[in-house]
Amino acid sequence: LFAGPIEFLKGVVAMDGLPPADRVEVCFAGRSNAGKSTLINALTGRKALARASNTPGRTQEINYFSAGDNLYLVDLPGYGYAEAPVNVVAKWQALLKSYLAGRQTLRRAFVLIDMRHGIKQVDEEILTLLDRSAVTFQVVLTKSDKVKAADRDRVLAQVRGALQKHPAAYPEIVVTSSEKGQGIAALRAIIATMA
């Protein structure tokens, strides 16, 4: 799956800019600063494939990467910028809604959650949107190296509890650290089953 080259294909700002739905895709969502760019770079083994720092309020694009001929990796813009202008947020939400509800080839959304924080209200909004769009989503906890071993079970329990009320949730939670490499191979293997 990741043996072939992974290449940036395009940034999409409107539904009519989406590439042809001629292969399956998985998408990555997360609150800004959740570690999404770092994780995508770790997964693909490429540095700076996904931009590691996003500017709040800049044009929000859905970034498409091709992973071989069978799969697209789709990087959704981070959500939850406190300082993003209202019109930018509204435009982004409309695009996100259309994308999630209308993309037939979307197999799974990976929702990245900073393991130090667990699932917050701002995450709940996107999880609810995924439920309504009938897109199966899987939680990927990030930055596990920042959480003490003694605290990990508590966070996992909080996340499992929060997922109970989401019908679109895939039960298995993936714990990762891009820093230490934890969970990266496991996530890659999950993605490989989608293609």
- CB-wise, 53 or 193, nearer to ligand GDP? 53
d(CA 64, CA 160): 30
The nearer residue to ligand GDP, 78 or 118, going by C-beta atoms, is: 78
Sole window of 7-15, 120-128, 152-160, 175-183 interacting with ligand GDP (rule: CB under 6 A): 175-183
Binding mask 80-119 for ligand GDP (x = CB under 6 A): ----------------------------------------
Do residues 111 and 142 make contact, with C-beta atoms less than 8 angstroms apart? Answer: no
Contact between 44 and ligand GDP per CB under 6 A: no
C-beta of 131 vs 179, nearer to ligand GDP: 179
The residue (of 54 and 98) whose beta carbon lies closer to ligand GDP is 54
Closest distance of CB 47 from ligand GDP, Å: 12
- List residues bridging with 114 in a β-sheet: 142
Q: Pick from 25, 23, 56, 52: which is nearest to 36 by CA?
A: 52
Strands 6-12 vs 24-30: parallel, antiparallel or unpaired: unpaired
Q: Is 143 in the site for ligand GDP (CB under 6 A)?
A: yes
Does 177 engage in binding with ligand GDP (CB under 6 A)?
yes
Nearest to 155 by CA among 166, 144, 164: 144
Distance CA 119, CA 107 (A): 22
Do β-strands 6-12 and 62-67 pair in parallel, antiparallel, or remain unpaired? antiparallel
Residues 116-135 that bind ligand GDP (CB under 6 A): none
Question: What is the C-alpha separation between 19 and 93, in angstroms, rounded?
Answer: 20
Task: List residues near ligand GDP by CB under 6 A.
Answer: 30, 32-38, 52-54, 78, 142-143, 145-146, 177-179
